[in-house]
Amino acid sequence: METTGQLLLTVLMGAFLLGVAAFLARVEDWRSYTPLGAGGGAVGESGYGHAEKPAGLIRWFTTVDHKDIGLLYGLYATIAFVVGGLMVMLMRAELTTPATDVLGSATFYNSLLTSHGITMLFLFGTPIIAAFANYLVPLIIGADDMAFPRINAIAFWLLPPAALLIWAGFFPIPEVIPAQTAWTMYTPLSAGVGNGNQMNVGVDLMLLGLHLSGVSATMGAINFIATIFTERAEEVTWANLDIFSWTILTQSGLILFAFPLLGSALVMLLLDRNFATTFFAVEGGGPILWQHLFWFFGHPEVYILVLPPMGIVSYVLPRFSGRKLFGFKFVVYSTLAIGVLSFGVWAHHMFATGIDPRLRASFMAVSLAIAIPSAVKTFNWITTMWNGKLRLTAPMLFCIGFVSNFIIGGVTGVFLASIPVDLVLHDTYYVVGHFHYIVMGAITFAGMAGIYYWFPLVTGRWYQRTLAKAHFWLWMIGTNVTFFAMVLLGYGGMPRRYATFLPQFATLHQIATLGAFMLLVGGVIWVYNIYVSWIEGPHVQSGDPWRLDETSLNTAEWDWFDAKRETSLAATDGGEEVKADGGEVVDGAPADDAADDE
């Protein structure tokens, strides 16, 4: 009975896939693609309304253009960010009272917790960085496209199924429940051992989805490494490579070593769950083995997430300081140092597990050493701004917010790296405060800085600057209210990952929830602003909308933008887009002083 149903499903699926293949073969002339060198140089290549690109949705499903794929990554990351954000809002609502009054079930809270973490790290964090890297790196280093444009497309298209698998437990599918393992997936819980419900197939689907996202990240990383090594323009020597590309290169190196390891560990876990192997069973490799494997991936992963945002800040912040980046080469070398050292600190997440104290000591030592390159960067950003001619535009505000939050996140991290302090604070809200100062306060802020900074480059339009500033201040205050309250909760001894708490923690939890609602409001403003401005924002009036030429701080991607504008202005027979670009006066919109964005 059951097998017949499954057979039927398989046949249906096969027929469906064949149909898709046939459809694609019909609508697309695949041979028309000559992705490499098609445009003849970074300048003048492609742009919208490109004659060779099919129109409408088909274009987005078949594109191999690095800019289109970058935009797809951006859209994907935005959706994931909204999903993960709504999940955490439910959790914060739950945490306004000590009992489970709001959601009614601690199990559901645990599911949200797990999914929030995985969504934000793997479906928002990595893809939003890939969005910037895909769009910008080829433009900045003067490459025609990525080295392997089709692998680039495949890497992206692996992500939507990954998301569906990861969220599968939340869909109304009978018998499938969401994983409640937290993002660290510690065994034995995640191995489905015991009387709990984590043997459910929902956990397997989540693990497979995670595996798929790892495959995607690895393919992307190989592509970036190949692109940066082999596709640079002749003038772009190692000495001339910009800091953002350096961080992407380093990040890709980290991905290349870290993600396959996660993939292997996940396969081992799946085998333990479904084929009775004993990799992580007490009588086999032991639960600590999982922790070693997971964190050998996990700590590099946090730097995979933070290095490119550091690159964005190092790239954008000087433009609004009227200065070149102070100590450019310090920043480059310290990026590389972080890359190497991040593989030598993993067990600082395991200080409380009872591993050999001598190993703990070594991990502490390297964790202290890795703080130096991070601190060096911070000093470089501050020195760049020192006595500079600051322009407090929205991207600049987010850069400054990044630096400020990164300092708090970094300092709390250094304390955690000290064994005796960690033994007190481990698994409390202090840790949650620490890493959220970084993942939210720093990484996401840098992402926003990048989005506002390159918004004119991508859309040719301005966002609404008042809304952008409201967004910034809501987030700056909201981040600090939320996560500083968590640091204090941790000092008070509030353990992490609980749906309920003792009444004495109520006030701080309510403050944290208040801050989270500020973040929600800011986020809604952001989505609205980007959406509306993309459609009807005033057009930028020059190829140098940030007026970077005045301080000799212009860069290659804006040069490309300028050239693109000029060609589309010159082409009188162009499409609608072109006409709008030429129509200088747009409803009397104050496009000109938007450039000040003061």
Interacting residues with ligand HEM (CB under 6 A): 184, 302, 305-306, 348-349, 367, 370-371, 374, 410, 413-414, 416-417, 422, 426, 431, 434-435, 438-439
d(CA 248, CA 259): 15
To the nearest whole angstrom, how small is the minimum distance from the Cβ of residue 487 to ligand HEM?
A: 13
Q: Which amino acid is at 521?
A: V
d(CA 169, CA 167): 6
- To which residue do tokens 């191995």 refer? 191
Long-range contacts of the stretch 121-124 (C-beta < 8 A, 24+): 121/183, 121/301, 121/305, 121/439, 122/162, 122/166, 122/210, 122/213, 123/76, 123/77, 123/80, 123/83, 123/84, 123/159, 123/162, 123/163, 123/166, 123/213, 124/77, 124/80, 124/81, 124/84
Between 299 and 465, CB nearer to Cu ion: 299
Structure tokens given for 149 = 């444009």
Between 394 and 438, CB nearer to ligand HEM: 438
- Distance of alpha carbon 224 from the chain centroid: 16
Site for other proteins in 245-304 (CB under 8 A): none
Closest CA to 539 of 586, 598, 595: 586
236 binds, among Cu ion, ligand HEM, other proteins, none (CB under 5 to 8 A by kind): other proteins
Identify the residue among 557, 565, 581, 591 touching other proteins (CB under 8 A).
557
Between 366 and 506, CB nearer to Cu ion: 366
- To which residue do tokens 């020597």 refer? 237
Which one of the spans 197-205, 367-375, 435-443, 500-508 is the region binding other proteins (CB under 8 A)?
Answer: 367-375
305 binds, among Cu ion, other proteins, ligand HEM, none (CB under 5 to 8 A by kind): ligand HEM
Identify the residue among 325, 408, 438, 442 touching other proteins (CB under 8 A).
325
18 binds, among Cu ion, ligand HEM, other proteins, none (CB under 5 to 8 A by kind): none
299 part of the interface to Cu ion, by CB under 5 A: yes
Structure tokens given for 418 = 């000290």
Query: Can you say whether residue 597 is alpha, beta or left, with left for phi > 0 and alpha for psi between -120 and 50 degrees?
Result: left
d(CA 516, CA 436): 12
To the nearest whole angstrom, how small is the minimum distance from the Cβ of residue 225 to ligand HEM?
A: 21
Which one of the spans 212-220, 294-302, 328-336, 413-421 is the region binding other proteins (CB under 8 A)?
Answer: 328-336
In 426-505, which residue ranges form alpha helices assigned H by DSSP?
A: 429-438, 445-459, 465-492
CB-based contacts of 291: which residues, under 8 Å, 6+ apart?
186, 349, 350, 353
337 part of the interface to other proteins, by CB under 8 A: yes
User: How distant, in Å, are the alpha carbons of 454, 470, 534 from that of 461?
Assistant: 10, 19, 7
CB-based contacts of 26: which residues, under 8 Å, 6+ apart?
none
Between 351 and 561, CB nearer to ligand HEM: 351
Between 107 and 554, CB nearer to other proteins: 554
397 part of the interface to other proteins, by CB under 8 A: no
179 binds, among ligand HEM, Cu ion, other proteins, none (CB under 5 to 8 A by kind): none
Q: Would you say how long the chain is, in residues?
A: 598
Closest CA to 263 of 212, 197, 203: 212
To the nearest whole angstrom, how small is the minimum distance from the Cβ of residue 372 to other proteins?
A: 5
d(CA 559, CA 24): 36
Site for other proteins in 206-235 (CB under 8 A): 233, 235
To the nearest whole angstrom, how small is the minimum distance from the Cβ of residue 313 to ligand HEM?
A: 13
565 part of the interface to Cu ion, by CB under 5 A: no
To the nearest whole angstrom, how small is the minimum distance from the Cβ of residue 511 to ligand HEM?
A: 22
544 part of the interface to other proteins, by CB under 8 A: no
Q: What is the CA radius of gyration of the chain?
A: 24
Site for other proteins in 39-68 (CB under 8 A): 42
By beta-carbon distance, which residue lies closest to ligand HEM?
A: 413
581 binds, among other proteins, Cu ion, ligand HEM, none (CB under 5 to 8 A by kind): none
Between 299 and 461, CB nearer to Cu ion: 299
Which one of the spans 193-201, 436-444, 555-563, 564-572 is the region binding other proteins (CB under 8 A)?
Answer: 555-563
Q: Which residues bind Cu ion (CB under 5 A)?
A: 299
Q: Which residues bind other proteins (CB under 8 A)?
A: 42, 140-142, 233, 235-244, 315, 324-325, 328-330, 332-334, 336-337, 339-341, 343-344, 356-359, 361-363, 365-366, 368-370, 372-373, 376, 552-557, 559
